[in-house]
Homo-oligomer: A and B are copies of this chain.
Amino acid sequence: MSQHVSGSSAPVRSSSLSTLPTLRVAVLGAGTVGGEVLRLISQQGDELAHRIGGRLEVIGVAVRDIARDRGEHVPAELLTEDAASLMREADLVIEVMGGIEPARSLLLDAMANGASVVTANKALLAQDGATLYEAADAHGVDLYFEAAVAGAIPLVRPVRESLAGDRIQRVLGIVNGTTNFILDAMTRTGASFDDALATAQQLGFAEADPTADVEGHDAAAKASILASLAFHSRMRLTDVHCEGITQVSAQDIAAAARMGRTIKLLSIVERIEEEGGERISARVYPALIPVDHPLASVAEAYNAVFIEADAAGSLMFYGQGAGGTPTASAILGDVVSAARARVHGGVGPRESRYAELESIPLEELRSAFYISLTVEDRPGVLAEIAGTLSGYGISISTIHQELLEQDDASDEPARAHIGISTHRALESAMTSSLDVFSSTATVLSIDSILRIEGE
């Protein structure tokens, strides 16, 4: 009969652990994620030691203000404001401070001094991943970043390792929990964007300054990382088309529901096969997807990523995309891999960019669209709109028209709302049509322009 351990953090055959080699671990940042990483390393130390074949010894935690109390899992004696010195002493650096500088310089220093790096810093990876990859290569150390995309969901590893023998065609991801929470709340309650955002802020699902989330910047950084991994090419953040959800209205949500669809903020990375070659696209925008699409039922702040690959077919990964503990889980998985390589030899996955595919500008992509217009309600308006679209090669799939209520006493002409969904058409053709509508007297306003995906 084997030994039973008492409680979840008890040692398992601890006697054999004392002979294991020790790995010096430095942590950059002691926020929510950093605190959880330290808690797990401390509570599961023996289990981790077994899995690694070595012991993790945290030699320091670099913070900006050493005086601040960080709770029980961040021992005061480990805190230091001298991150630079720490980088020279570590075998392994866990970076959870975020931001571009000083994170980048510190990680480059650490790698130059022979440390492997585990980071959750999507902004840094999206903006300057190439520099980090090159440093890891040059110094023969490992660079892991599972936590940078979709939090706790194992995604980076499956994409760059499990699917390494396959060809990924498309990835549709819900990779920002804040915006999914807001859109889900709007869908369930009929609330406006502003009200749903306020609720998300009250419940801690959105920051006081929600810009990075609601404008899609966070999702765009993740799309850039995913595209690079999926297509073995570099994808610059500046080449990721990015639209947020601030323009999504309660009317859009209702219109989507009427069509059997729901609105999600998607990070889309896609391989576009063309005559004589292929290019890749990475883009972020709110899109209508069918309610029976696997991504449609992803509720609240959950994340999910849907992958289409030539051989594997459709895959989906679902889980928590943020939060201290889930993010710490992803980081520790990477820590175990990086630490195992230190103990047993070998190198982790390197940057794979042999394909060197160019990115395709949004204007050259073909999408299905949903547009909604407010027009004067008089004969011929619909024909005029349909004629404009048709003139640009855009064919209409469905039209929904609705007379808008009006004050009886008003002198204003009667107004109607028109919702049109189209078949797939060139983005540039839609842009041209909208230009025409803007200067058409009978079109009083262009209320929404959204794309339709996942059909």
Contacts and interface: CB of A to CB of B under 8 A. Distances in A.
Interface of A: 1-6, 8, 12-13, 36, 40, 44, 47-48, 50-51, 146, 152-154, 157-158, 161-167, 232-233, 273-274, 276-279, 294, 297, 309-320, 323, 325-326, 328-337, 340-341, 344-347, 349, 352, 354-358
A160 to B, nearest CB: 9
Given A1-B358, A5-B277, A163-B333, A317 B316 contact: yes
A353 B274 CA distance: 50
A320 B310 CA distance: 12
Given A1-B358, A4-B279, A329 B347 contact: no
The 5 A-B residue pairs with the shortest CB-CB distance, nearest first, are A346-B346, A4-B277, A165-B332, A154-B162, A2-B356
A233 to B, nearest CB: 8
B346 A273 contact: no
Given A154-B154, A317-B316, A319-B314, A329 B344 contact: no
A315 B154 contact: yes
A357 B309 CA distance: 38
A36 B311 contact: yes
Contact of A165 (B163, B277, B311, B329): B329
A37 B167 CA distance: 14
B332 A164 contact: yes
Contacts of A276: 4, 6
A157 B152 CA distance: 14
B13 A354 contact: yes
Nearest to A153: B315
A311 B152 contact: yes
A311 B336 contact: no
A85 to B, nearest CB: 26
Interface centre among A297, A316, A344 (most CB of B within 10 A): A316
Residue of A2, A165, A297, A346 most packed against chain B (CB within 10 A)? A165
A319 B312 CA distance: 8
Given A5-B278, A313-B319, A344-B347, 19 more contacts: A2-B357, A4-B276, A8-B167, A12-B356, A44-B165, A51-B164, A51-B354, A152-B312, A152-B315, A153-B315, A154-B157, A154-B315, A309-B329, A310-B325, A312-B325, A315-B317, A316-B317, A317-B318, A318-B318
Q: Which of A1, A8, A166, A325 has the most CB of B within 10 A?
A: A166
A157 B162 contact: yes
A339 B5 CA distance: 38
Given A311-B36, A317-B316, A346-B347, A165 B333 contact: yes
Contact of A312 (B3, B166, B330): B330
Nearest to A355: B12
A113 to B, nearest CB: 21
A441 to B, nearest CB: 44
Contact of A6 (B164, B277, B320, B337): B277
A336 B278 contact: no
Nearest to A9: B167
21 contacts: A2-B233, A2-B358, A12-B354, A12-B356, A36-B311, A40-B166, A47-B167, A48-B165, A50-B354, A50-B355, A51-B165, A51-B232, A51-B354, A154-B315, A164-B332, A165-B335, A166-B333, A311-B328, A312-B325, A313-B320, A313-B326
Contacts of A51: 164-165, 232, 352, 354
B320 A8 contact: no
A454 to B, nearest CB: 15
Nearest to A48: B165
B162 A310 contact: no
A158 B336 CA distance: 12
Contacts of A355: 5, 12, 47, 50
A44 B311 CA distance: 11
